[in-house]
Amino acid sequence: MIPSPPSKRAELTVGEVARRSGVAVSTVHFYEAKGLIRGWRTEGNQRRYPRAVLRLIAIVRLAQRAGIPLATVKAHFDEIATDRAITLSEWRRLSLSWQDIIEDRIISLQQLRDELDHCIGCGCLSITECPMHNPEDSLAREGAGPRRLITKALARMAKRTDGAADAAPRRSRRRTRGDAQDG
């Protein structure tokens, strides 16, 4: 659904959106092409955007910085009205949904940092400890890629899933505290 043009005071040109949000004009166009933001054309065929688009672009940039896929952001945006400012409860719902993604990313990056100097099971056999950890590239039977990293990542994710029951009350408390602040 294309938003109806708001009053002149609340509409922004593509250049104003780019300047205010800190992105290039081409990025504004890219976000629009991906369905993350919406605008309309004036009678003179110029692009205009509601002021609320600034918040949406800020959320998209935050998501990109955290490694959240644009498709995930779009799926959330598709569930809410994007021609107005996002509400506090909508923001809380979105940020809660990102927590697991961000936590998985943190774990993956920590693992990568800790394993960079060791045999990762890629099959190159060039590090002196490879013959000990991956003799004759035996990990190739398990599949493609850096098997030691993949196996450890899967084990950590499984461990986190097993502990999900412990995490649920914590999230539930957070949500309750946030809902109380809405009212």
Alpha-carbon distance of 104 to 86, in angstroms, equals 26
Alpha-carbon distance of 132 to 134, in angstroms, equals 6
What would the mean pLDDT of 13-19 be, rounded to a whole number? 97
Terminal CA-CA length for the chain: 30
Q: Over 50: is that where the pLDDT of 35 sits?
A: yes
Q: What share of the chain has pLDDT > 70, as a percent?
A: 80
What does the pLDDT look like over 39-50, one tens digit per residue? 999 999 999 999
Q: Where exactly does CATH 1.10.1660.10 map onto the chain?
A: 1-86
Q: Over 90: is that where the pLDDT of 169 sits?
A: no
| CATH number for the domain running over 1-86 | 1.10.1660.10
Q: Over 60: is that where the pLDDT of 104 sits?
A: yes
Can you give the pLDDT at residue 174? 41
Greatest CA separation found in the chain?
Answer: 71
User: What are residue 147's DSSP bridge partners?
Assistant: none
